[in-house]
Structure 1
Amino acid sequence: MLRHREGEVMRGLLWELKKVIVGHEQETEEIVVCLLAGGHCLLEGLPGVAKTLTIKTLAEAVDVDFTRIQFTPDLVPSDIVGTRIYRASREEFDIELGPVFTNFVLADEINRAPAKVQSAMLEVMAERQVSIGGQTWAMPRPFLVMATQNPIETEGVYPLPEAQRDRFLVKVLINYPQAGDELEIVRRMSTGAPKPKQVLDAEKLTQLQESASQVYVDPLVMEYAVALVMATRTPNELGFSDIAPYLAVGASPRASLGLIAAARAFALIHGRGYAVPEDVHHLAPAVLRHRLVLTYEALADGVTADDIVTKLLDRVHQPRPAKTRSSLWGRS
């Protein structure tokens, strides 16, 4: 009964987002899953597809502190994490904390920032803390980095390093809306932009995140998640020789942990106290697509990370109660 009530709250949050964001139901759900799982979210899409609007709407529906940082090539780490400031009147230094010290951080066009800024963001995302002047400052709870990037920009862009991409729980792809959805967007905006209602606050969100972390995951579901990740690392050994030429580096153990964390959150949203293999299957593209490093052969053949994940999902069998451990590895 408790899980059902918690699921209703999260579905209410999704409903408020849908008041503003037309279409993109799966993408919106993946963002809420990331929020509930306590991870960070990377949104990629062309200009004008509501990436920033989606994140701002989420911040309005959840009553927490929110900061938007526009990343540019001239940023330095102190612009985002803070710095030491000398007070002449007292002849001593004070610490001025930067804009990342908030609950929700919108890192707009994160791939425009240079290496030193990315390094500072890596500490913020991975350790949830900042080191300034020999002191360590913890981030508030809850804490979520939601970053956007434009896939077609080439001027003033620094590709995110693999280590930083791995810190994002999910990568959500935002595409152009369908004609019917776009017509609805125009209709809604012509009568005044809709506003979401507040559904959660920081305390309630933290409680829901802790509740999601307690959702039961059967060992067979864990094995299924690990099987998918292992297939990205050693495809030849597992009989996926047609995929191997396209993979330079597979997913890390964070991918296995991410699949389970996301599955737990997805189960809670749907009012269940347990995760099932279908949860892992449903969320695998969002959790895995940004963790795979593809070869030049994949680029030449037009093979994307999503293509590879789709093949793996088709061929690594979902477990069933009667299945044995060895039957998880599909063959075609």
Structure 2
Amino acid sequence: MTQNDEDQIILTDVYNEIVEQVRTFLVGNQLTLDLLMVALLSRGHVLIEGIPGTAKTTIVKSIAHLSDCEFKRIQCAVDIQPADILGVRIYDQEIQQFDLKKGPIFTNFLLIDELNRLTPRAQSAFIEAMSERQVTIDGETHALNEPFFAVATHNPSEFEGTFPLIEAEKDRFMFSIPIGYLDADEELELIHRESTGSLDWDTYSRQIRPVLNPAVIQRLQNSMTHVRVEEPMLRYIRDIVMATRSHGDLRTGASSRASIYLIRGSRAYAALQGRDYVIPDDVKMIAPFVLQHRIVLDRVAEIGGITPISVIEQILSSIEVL
């Protein structure tokens, strides 16, 4: 058995165990769980958009616990400064030199709650960290922990006390995932669980059995390069991205990061399906979540009720693998 085969077995076992343990507490949100796993394997970051009370924090905390990784949370507010996120150098009188007091960004799993409550200046603190996995403090560069996985939440329904997300920052998120309400059956299941006392986080977190650790995560991340992406699939990804740049309803198309994340995400999704090669359905599955926060509608299209998702669906339905 080759190392690639061993890595695939490890990934399959780990993923099944994660799903099983998360399902004992979390109701619904299977797609969100899948996409978070794809992003983690792809060394990407995730922006989750949805109303409060839809288990955004819970699902991220669950994956962090199951990964046996350090988890930190930043509750964003208008008065938070970059130093509150990155850290600050403080002069130590005893040793007569400056000592770095690290901020919460020095962790493995970082939850940035309500990112749009930060000012643009504070939001910019994440840009270098997400793209280069390092931060610069007083002119000195400091590497972040490995793995480093950032998940930010964004409540699009609230505008008071919020700021638009910086475009350069949005582009550094691999996925934008919308989370909505549970359906009727899922809502009833949640009510049943609450009535029996099985929705207590403290009890659940004590029962979690980690199935990953930082070293295994890095090994699985490295193994994604062994998932084959044949030339027709590469051209297919190129054609999708290029179509966003020439579409009549779009003012701004997808950046080259979209191409990179479509390749990485397709590989990771294929691996989670037990395959060592990418097929068109892998690309189609992740494409909406890679593209929707990278494209900007033309004003006329926006007024006409056209949405980014409808444009993406049109593009995906019109492009074939050649």
TM-score, structure 2 length as denominator?
0.93
Are 1:8 and 1:269, in contact at CA under 8 Å, matched by a contact in 2?
A: no
Overall identity of the aligned pairs, in %: 40
User: Which letter does structure 2 place at the counterpart of 1:311?
Assistant: Q
List per-residue Cα deviations over 1:241-275 (Å, max 9, x = no partner): xxx1x211000111011001000101111111111
Query: For structure 1, which segment, 64-73 or 47-56, has the greater mean C-alpha deviation from structure 2 after superposition?
Result: 47-56
Which residue among 285, 290, 296 is the counterpart of 1:287? 290
What is the alpha-carbon distance in structure 1 between the residues aligned to residue 143 and residue 233 of structure 2?
A: 34
What is the SS of the residue equivalent to 1:308? helix
What is the SS of the residue equivalent to 1:20? coil
Which residue among 128, 131, 141 is the counterpart of 1:126? 131
Which residue among 227, 238, 243 is the counterpart of 1:215? 227
Alignment of 1:224-239 (within 5 A): 224-235=236-247
What is the alpha-carbon distance in structure 1 between the residues aligned to residue 198 and residue 20 of structure 2?
A: 19
Are 1:21 and 1:54, in contact at CA under 8 Å, matched by a contact in 2?
A: yes
Task: Kindly state the Cα deviation for residue 277 of structure 1 after the two structures are TM-superposed.
Answer: 1.3
What is the alpha-carbon distance in structure 2 between the residues aligned to residue 90 and residue 266 of structure 1?
A: 51
Moved over 6 A (4+): none
- Root-mean-square deviation over aligned CA pairs: 1.4
Task: Kindly state the Cα deviation for residue 17 of structure 1 after the two structures are TM-superposed.
Answer: 2.4
- Residue of structure 1 in register with 2:87 after alignment: 82
What is the alpha-carbon distance in structure 2 between the residues aligned to residue 286 and residue 265 of structure 1?
A: 14
Are 1:63 and 1:200, in contact at CA under 8 Å, matched by a contact in 2?
A: yes
Task: Kindly state the Cα deviation for residue 222 of structure 1 after the two structures are TM-superposed.
Answer: 1.0
Which residue among 135, 152, 155 is the counterpart of 1:147? 152
- Residue of structure 1 in register with 2:143 after alignment: 138
What is the alpha-carbon distance in structure 2 between the residues aligned to residue 218 and residue 39 of structure 1?
A: 22
What is the alpha-carbon distance in structure 2 between the residues aligned to residue 8 and residue 278 of structure 1?
A: 23
Q: In the comparison of the two structures, how many residue pairs are matched?
A: 310
Q: Tell me, which stretches of 5 or more residues in structure 1 are unaligned?
A: 236-243, 324-332
What is the SS of the residue equivalent to 2:53? coil
What is the alpha-carbon distance in structure 2 between the residues aligned to residue 90 and residue 198 of structure 1?
A: 40
- Residue of structure 1 in register with 2:278 after alignment: 275
Are 1:14 and 1:32, in contact at CA under 8 Å, matched by a contact in 2?
A: no
- Residue of structure 1 in register with 2:314 after alignment: 311
Are 2:25 and 2:198, in contact at CA under 8 Å, matched by a contact in 1?
A: no
Task: Kindly state the Cα deviation for residue 289 of structure 1 after the two structures are TM-superposed.
Answer: 0.8
Matched, 1:265 2:275: no
Which residue among 213, 216, 229 is the counterpart of 1:204? 216
Task: Kindly state the Cα deviation for residue 49 of structure 1 after the two structures are TM-superposed.
Answer: 0.9
List per-residue Cα deviations over 1:268-306 (Å, max 9, x = no partner): 111111111110011111111111112222331222211
Matched, 1:94 2:99: yes
Alignment of 1:50-61 (within 5 A): 50-61=55-66
Q: Tell me, which stretches of 5 or more residues in structure 2 are unaligned?
A: none
What is the SS of the residue equivalent to 1:303? coil
User: Which letter does structure 1 place at the counterpart of 2:104?
Assistant: P
What is the SS of the residue equivalent to 1:95? strand
